[in-house]
């Protein structure tokens, strides 16, 4: 595709030779003739003098030394859209692979693709143009909407409902039992039946190895446009809001509610029955023990408001010096109150 054609599709302007031909994409360091790359800011522009890229996506104020530019107010986003246009995803042919099992009362749209060694249970519905890659298992009563992509090894539990344009990366499990037990009269653990379901709304993407447990009663729901990274654990009866983002290795205990456009960073965790408000930000490794207000930014474990957390971290850096001064005062006063002074007593 010529740079000018790409710019027209994106509604952007070209600076320089718009007739240069683009056949691929690459980082500035490794790009060659025919590759499109991008620059977000002046900090990146230092590499422009050494790149062999055919053209770049860049902000208007970046000087590229004559290199053709697709001028963009948001280079990262326009580059992502360019990748989709230059390297469109391929999909397998429609139809059911001979090694797949499809129950007699299941409904698979003729335009859908069911790959090798898949199993599609009783009463399942697979929508138009959806793709089940090799080894996907869809349990009885589940629904998969239109234009979905379920990658290898995904498991869709009984009664799970998946909307349109949902993408599940390899190894996602939707609708496994929630972790619920009660002690019986002899003090032994007895399983609490998990009879609810999982609902995933439209335009959701869920990363590899992530699990979303079925509800004990009612629903565990992932709302439209939410993006969930790899190795995330979402427990029974959670509700993840529209366009929320949950990053790798985060975990939500049962009945946690995550608001619209909230962001939970890597390895953060929430105790059960908590609410994270709309637009809130939870830092990496934060531990939530109480609700987070809409728009709040919390850090640390236990989680605290951002500015307070910064003060706490700054104070911790000063603790060794404060302890040294305390020991000096104790010595001057002839008192012994530090833990080290009391060792052996």
pLDDT band, very low/low/confident/very high, at 337 (cuts 50, 70, 90): low
Residue 216, Cβ density class (10 Å: 0-12 exposed, 13-18 middle, ≥19 buried): buried
The pLDDT tens digits for 191-208 are 999 999 999 999 999 999
pLDDT band, very low/low/confident/very high, at 183 (cuts 50, 70, 90): very high
pLDDT band, very low/low/confident/very high, at 343 (cuts 50, 70, 90): low
Query: Can you tell me the mean pLDDT for 106-130?
Result: 98
- Among 55, 86, 117, residue at a domain's last position: 86
Domain CATH code at residue 171: 2.160.10.10
Query: Can you tell me the mean pLDDT for 152-167?
Result: 98
Statement: residue 340 has pLDDT above 60: no
Q: Using only C-alpha atoms, what is the Rg of the chain? A: 27
3-class SS of residue 288: strand
The pLDDT tens digits for 212-263 are 999 999 999 999 999 999 999 999 999 999 999 999 999 999 999 999 999 9
**Residue 202: per-residue pLDDT:** 98
**Residue 143: per-residue pLDDT:** 98
Give the span between the Cα atoms of 174 and 151, in whole angstroms.
13
Same structural domain, 323 and 198: no
Query: Can you tell me the mean pLDDT for 105-116?
Result: 98
Query: Can you tell me the mean pLDDT for 284-304?
Result: 96
Query: Can you tell me the mean pLDDT for 113-136?
Result: 98
Q: What token pair was written down for 296?
A: 């709040």
Same structural domain, 138 and 120: yes
Same structural domain, 7 and 132: no
Query: Could you give the residue ranges of the DSSP H alpha helices within 15-153?
Result: 42-45, 75-86
**Residue 344: per-residue pLDDT:** 47
Residue 123: CB atoms within 10 A of its CB come to 16
Same structural domain, 103 and 166: yes
**Residue 330: per-residue pLDDT:** 87
The pLDDT tens digits for 2-36 are 999 999 999 999 999 999 999 999 999 999 999 99
pLDDT band, very low/low/confident/very high, at 331 (cuts 50, 70, 90): confident
Are 256 and 280 spatial neighbours (Cβ–Cβ below 8 Å)? no
Set 97, 236, 273, 289: catalytic member: 236
Token pair 């002839």: residue: 334
Domain CATH code at residue 75: 3.40.1390.10
Statement: residue 299 has pLDDT above 50: yes
Same structural domain, 75 and 196: no
Give the span between the Cα atoms of 23 and 53, in whole angstroms.
11
Same structural domain, 209 and 321: no
User: How many structural domains compose the chain?
Assistant: 3
Statement: residue 305 has pLDDT above 50: yes
Query: Can you tell me the mean pLDDT for 180-185?
Result: 95
**Residue 345: per-residue pLDDT:** 43
Same structural domain, 117 and 258: yes
- Among 54, 86, 118, residue at a domain's last position: 86
Q: Which of 23-32, 40-49, 64-73, 242-251 has the highest mean pLDDT?
A: 242-251
Show Cβ contacts of residue 282 under 8 Å, excluding neighbours closer than 6 positions.
Answer: 262, 263, 264, 265, 268, 270, 276, 288, 292, 298, 303
Are 166 and 186 spatial neighbours (Cβ–Cβ below 8 Å)? no
Residue 340: CB atoms within 10 A of its CB come to 8
The sheet with strand 155-156 has its strands ordered as 101-102, 119-120, 137-138, 155-156, 173-176, 211-213, 233-234, 251-252, 269-270, 287-288
Statement: residue 49 has pLDDT above 90: no
Same structural domain, 175 and 219: yes
Q: Would you say the pTM of this structure is higher than 0.85? A: yes
User: How does strand 197-200 pair with strand 205-206?
Assistant: unpaired
Query: Could you give the residue ranges of the DSSP H alpha helices within 87-239?
Result: none
Query: Can you tell me the mean pLDDT for 135-152?
Result: 98
Statement: residue 317 has pLDDT above 50: yes
Give the span between the Cα atoms of 14 and 3, in whole angstroms.
8
Are 182 and 200 spatial neighbours (Cβ–Cβ below 8 Å)? no
**Per-residue CA distances from 5 to 1, 17, 73, 154 (Å):** 6, 12, 18, 38
pLDDT band, very low/low/confident/very high, at 339 (cuts 50, 70, 90): low
- Among 33, 54, 86, residue at a domain's last position: 86
Same structural domain, 43 and 178: no
Q: What token pair was written down for 141?
A: 């009563």
Same structural domain, 127 and 198: yes
Among residues 262, 263, 271, 233, the alpha carbon closest in space to that of 250 is found at: 233
pLDDT > 70: what percent of the chain? 97
Same structural domain, 197 and 252: yes
**Chain CA centroid to CA 35, Å:** 28
**Per-residue CA distances from 139 to 105, 119, 126, 143 (Å):** 13, 8, 12, 9
Among residues 155, 167, 169, 162, the alpha carbon closest in space to that of 121 is found at: 155
Q: Which domain holds residue 310?
A: 306-342
Own/partner contacts of 87-92, CB < 8 Å, gap of 24 or more, are: 87/24, 87/25, 91/129, 91/131, 92/131, 92/133
Same structural domain, 153 and 276: yes
**Residue 44: per-residue pLDDT:** 73
Statement: residue 338 has pLDDT above 70: no
Give the span between the Cα atoms of 234 and 271, in whole angstroms.
11
Token pair 């900090």: residue: 43
To the query of whether residue 236 is one of the catalytic residues in this protein, the response is yes
Give the span between the Cα atoms of 192 and 237, in whole angstroms.
14
């Amino acid at each position: 595709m010529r740079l000018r054609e790409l710019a027209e599709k994106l509604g952007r302007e070209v600076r320089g030779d718009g007739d240069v031909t683009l056949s691929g994409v690459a980082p500035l360091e490794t790009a060659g003739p025919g590759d499109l790359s991008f620059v977000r800011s002046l900090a990146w522009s230092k590499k422009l003098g050494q790149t062999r890229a055919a053209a770049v996506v860049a902000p208007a104020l970046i000087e590229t030394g004559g290199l053709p530019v697709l001028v963009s107010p948001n280079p990262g986003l326009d580059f992502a859209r360019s990748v989709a246009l230059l390297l469109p995803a391929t999909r397998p042919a429609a139809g059911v692979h001979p090694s797949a099992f499809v129950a007699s009362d299941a409904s698979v749209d003729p335009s859908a693709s069911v790959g090798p060694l898949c199993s599609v249970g009783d009463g399942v519905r697979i929508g138009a143009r959806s793709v089940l890659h090799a080894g996907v298992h869809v349990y009885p009563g589940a629904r998969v909407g239109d234009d979905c992509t379920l990658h290898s090894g995904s498991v869709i539990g009984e009664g799970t409902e998946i909307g349109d344009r949902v993408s599940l990366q390899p190894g996602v499990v939707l609708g496994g039992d929630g972790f619920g037990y009660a002690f019986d009269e002899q003090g032994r653990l007895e399983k609490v039946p998990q009879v609810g379901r999982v609902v995933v709304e439209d335009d959701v993407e869920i990363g590899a190895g992530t699990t979303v447990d079925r509800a004990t009663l009612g629903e565990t729901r992932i709302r439209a446009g939410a993006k969930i990274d790899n190795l995330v654990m979402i427990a029974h009866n959670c509700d993840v809001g529209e366009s929320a983002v949950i990053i790798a290795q985060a975990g939500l205990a049962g009945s946690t509610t995550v608001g619209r456009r909230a962001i939970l960073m890597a390895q953060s965790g929430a105790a059960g029955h908590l609410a994270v408000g709309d637009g809130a930000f939870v830092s990496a490794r934060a531990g939530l023990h109480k609700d987070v207000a809409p728009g709040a930014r919390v850090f640390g474990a236990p989680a605290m408001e951002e500015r307070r957390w910064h003060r706490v971290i700054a104070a911790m850096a000063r603790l060794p010096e404060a302890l040294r001064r305390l020991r000096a005062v104790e010595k001057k006063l002839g008192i012994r109150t530090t833990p080290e002074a009391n060792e052996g007593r």
